[in-house]
Amino acid sequence: MSDLRIAVLGVGIMGADHVARLATRISGARVTVVNDFLTEKAEAVAAGVPGCRAVGDPLDAIADPDIDAVVLATPGPTHDKQLLACLDHGKPVLCEKPLTTDVESSLEIVKREAELGKRLIQVGFMRRFDDEYVQLKALMDAGEFGRPLVLHCVHRNPAVPPSFDSSMVVKDSLVHEVDVTRFLFDEEIASIQIIKPATNPGAPQGIQDPQIAIMRTNSGKHVDVELFVTTGVAYEVRTELVGEKGSAFIGLDVGLIRKGGAGTWGGQITPGFRERFGRAYDTEFQRWVNAVQRGNATGDYTDGPSAWDGYAAAAVCAAGVESLQSGQPVTVDMVDRATIPGA
């Protein structure tokens, strides 16, 4: 089978990483087009990849007849229009989270894809491809912990850009635990409350950090998440599942442990999400490429989180942002999936 010809839109932090990933570590695909709002940036990236050219308009890149599939690594507010163009042209697309930045447009995307009768959209919730989450899910599904009851999560970043505000802690950080919850428990989230403890004096003015999110699933399972995005330390993502017959912990950073001359011992914490989830992104991309290669035979060009998963995450985060303002638990407002055949 010939290599897929991929267009990568948006070659900032994630997009440039994905170009390098596709060019060096993923088989069955080549990056043949890149696009960026900043033309020079796209041209510089294209120059580093044999057979790749820069295209000035993202919609031209999607429509290009020499492109088989698209990676969207543009900022969230542009996803809506670019995803609709992918659907119009029947192009499979791996879209970095979020699907879109509001619930209404996410639902519109879900409906438009369902009408086509093909699964073309995969959303980049990469934790579903991380070895530790996969192992935890397999043990849960095998009944090792009995009935799962509670999930305790920690999500800490050393720092965030100055433009990061309190609602972005919910929409950009918590969104990953929202997807993890839905992935591990296989059910929707019914309600969410954001609690605002005393803020970190070192956090930029005006940002509520840390935040504690409390979520309840449809069947009543409890999830709590500590979100703390200005720790100044490193990237820490931990998850503890507590079930009827035991518990399990992932994300402990227990690699090599070294004993030091000053009487200390310890290991290293991953500095950022690219180091912590690097292998997960590679697995995500290889499985997506393989699924797109099979797609004409199966009608399913995805192997991972769907447009519906993107919509569900948007709905929970919208309720989370509402709770951030009111401090009260907010019920998640979602349509019944059964009302959208094919979703």
Ligand X SMILES: NC(=O)c1ccc[n+]([C@@H]2O[C@H](COP(=O)([O-])OP(=O)(O)OC[C@H]3O[C@@H](n4cnc5c(N)ncnc54)[C@H](O)[C@@H]3O)[C@@H](O)[C@H]2O)c1
DSSP characters over 197-231 = -SPPTTSPTT---SEEEEEEETT--EEEEEEES--
- 58 vs 92, beta carbon nearer ligand X: 58
Sign of CA dihedral 273, 178, 199, 326: positive
Of 319, 6, 41, 45, which is closest to residue 167 (Cα–Cα)? 319
Give, as ranges, the residues between 268 and 297 that touch ligand X (CB under 6 A). 273
Three-class SS state of 335: coil
Report 50-79 residues binding ligand X (CB under 6 A): 58, 73-76, 78
101 binds ligand X (CB under 6 A): no
124 binds ligand X (CB under 6 A): yes
Long-range Cβ contacts of 47-50 (<8 Å, 24+ apart): 49/19, 49/23
Q: How far is the CB of 262 from ligand X (least distance, A)?
A: 36
Tell the smallest beta-carbon distance from residue 172 to ligand X (Å): 6
Q: State which of positions 24-53 bind ligand X (CB under 6 A).
A: 35-38, 41
Residue at shortest CB range from ligand X: 12
3-state secondary structure of 131: helix
Show the 3-state SS of 68-82: CEEEECCCHHHHHHH
Question: In the complex with ligand X, which residue's Cβ is closer, 18 or 118?
Answer: 18
CB of 81 to ligand X, least distance (A): 8
Confirm or reject binding of residue 155 to ligand X (CB under 6 A): no
The residue (of 133 and 145) whose beta carbon lies closer to ligand X is 133
- β pairing state of 189-195 and 211-217: antiparallel
Footprint on this chain of ligand X (rule: CB under 6 A): 9-15, 35-38, 41, 58, 73-76, 78, 96-97, 124, 126, 273
